[in-house]
Structure 1
Amino acid sequence: MTNNDILKKLRVALMLRDTDIEAIMSLVDFKISTSELGAFFRTEDHPKYMECGDQILRNFLNGLIIYTRGTKEAPKKPEDALLHKPVMAKAKMANATSQPKIDTVSFKNTPAKNRLDQTTYKKKASFKDGPKKPFKKG
């Protein structure tokens, strides 16, 4: 599916006219003429067909978001986002490389019968001890 197909399908699904698409593109400060829009919606074998580039589709989609949702009241500045990301990444890495904290439990004041360290475990049979039953050949 090409960018032209995506643009055509969105135009039909959202019932947009050329003037609506121009208004949507102007929301992201991207100017496009009606003749350029008409070239995107032509068939591929038409002599005035023009392929819709990635930037045009990206700007249309960003404008469509603003058109449907509205603008953000307090948008983030790109500089602020760039400044905080490396700091947060370094902080996360520093926390990940530090020694893990292990909670220790003191058994000094607990009775011996309630202690967890008194649990006995059965030893699993292993071949190091030798087989329990002799094998019969035959």
Structure 2
Amino acid sequence: MMFHNDVLRRIRYALAINDTAAISIFKLMDYEMDIDYLHSIMKKEDEEGYLPCRDKILAMFLDGLIIKNRGKQEGQAPKELGPKERLSNNEILRKIRIAMSYKDEDMIAVLYMADFRLSKGELSALFRKPDHRNYKAAGDQVVRNLLQGMVIKYRQNTKPRTSNQNAFASKSKGGGTAKSGSSETQKAGPKTLNLKNSGAKKQIVKKKSNTYRVDNKPTDSLRSKG
């Protein structure tokens, strides 16, 4: 199974969650996170001071993120993991999906950003109950690529327009049209993805995403990629 430290570190980087914001997310679960412990579980395995992130800690962080993004549901308090309970990759995917309000198409699109293709049927199997005949255990690759896709979506896909793109946008507003097949048309046009085993061809238009925002700027520890 993928190290929980990696999951915590990558999702914090993808969503630009600094130490102050991370601690506030844990507080939503009535957990007082110690800053030194937080720094230790953010380290990589070969770094001095590294401590493994326990299943319970990662589960509380993801549940707190759900509350932060979607609010606390009355009478539906998240179940805290017991000392011997484990957080599966499937549960990690499910919690991220809820926290980010992702639909099937959203998850497929985010995975595609990391060059990872998954059909709607394959995705559905990951969210079945373990005793369901169509249930499929999620491998580390799915979690890793979802997090990588989120990094691209929220941190790398917000580049400013080039002068050529600005000129094309102005021309379009003025009623001008670009010739079919020109480089301008190719830059401005939507990217069509043909997803295998997912029915008809779907058109996914890359556009500037709404970056997950927090009140404080990321710390230096989050400025280097996962």
Q: Give the alignment's TM-score, normalised by structure 2.
A: 0.32
Residue 70 (structure 1) shift: 0.9
Other-structure match for 2:5: 4
Residue deviations 1:68-103, cap 9 Å, x none?
10112x3258xxxxxxxxxxxxxxxxxxxxxxxxxx
1:28 aligns with 2:29: yes
SS in 2 for 1:52: coil
Residues 60, 76 of structure 1: CA spacing in aligned structure 2 closer, same or farther, 3 A cutoff? closer
Other-structure match for 1:69: 70
Residues 76, 19 of structure 1: CA spacing in aligned structure 2 closer, same or farther, 3 A cutoff? closer
Write the mapping of 1:88-103 to structure 2, written as runs, cut at 5 A. Answer: none
Q: Distance in 1 between matches of 2:18 and 2:60?
A: 17
Other-structure match for 1:44: 45
Residues 48, 66 of structure 1: CA spacing in aligned structure 2 closer, same or farther, 3 A cutoff? same
Which is bigger in relative contact order (C-alpha 8 A, separation at least 6)? 2
Q: Which amino acid aligns with 1:16?
A: I
Question: Over alpha carbons, which structure has the higher Rg?
Answer: 1
Residue 41 (structure 1) shift: 1.4
Q: Distance in 2 between matches of 1:36 and 1:18?
A: 11
Aligned length: 77
Percent sequence identity is 37
Q: Give the alignment's TM-score, normalised by structure 1.
A: 0.52
Residue deviations 1:33-87, cap 9 Å, x none?
1111111111212231000000000111110100110112x3258xxxxxxxxxx
Q: Distance in 2 between matches of 1:63 and 1:52?
A: 16
Aligned partners of 2:4 and 2:58 also within 8 Å: yes
Q: Distance in 1 between matches of 2:47 and 2:76?
A: 44
Other-structure match for 1:60: 61
Q: Distance in 1 between matches of 2:35 and 2:15?
A: 18
Aligned partners of 2:6 and 2:44 also within 8 Å: no
Q: Which moved more, 1:23-32 or 1:38-47?
A: 38-47
Residues 35, 68 of structure 1: CA spacing in aligned structure 2 closer, same or farther, 3 A cutoff? same
Q: Distance in 2 between matches of 1:43 and 1:57?
A: 15
Give the unaligned 5+ runs of structure 2. Answer: 78-226
Q: Which moved more, 1:50-59 or 1:34-43?
A: 34-43
Other-structure match for 1:109: none
Cα RMSD over matched residues? 1.8
Write the mapping of 1:97-116 to structure 2, written as runs, cut at 5 A. Answer: none
Residues 66, 45 of structure 1: CA spacing in aligned structure 2 closer, same or farther, 3 A cutoff? same
Residues 76, 20 of structure 1: CA spacing in aligned structure 2 closer, same or farther, 3 A cutoff? closer
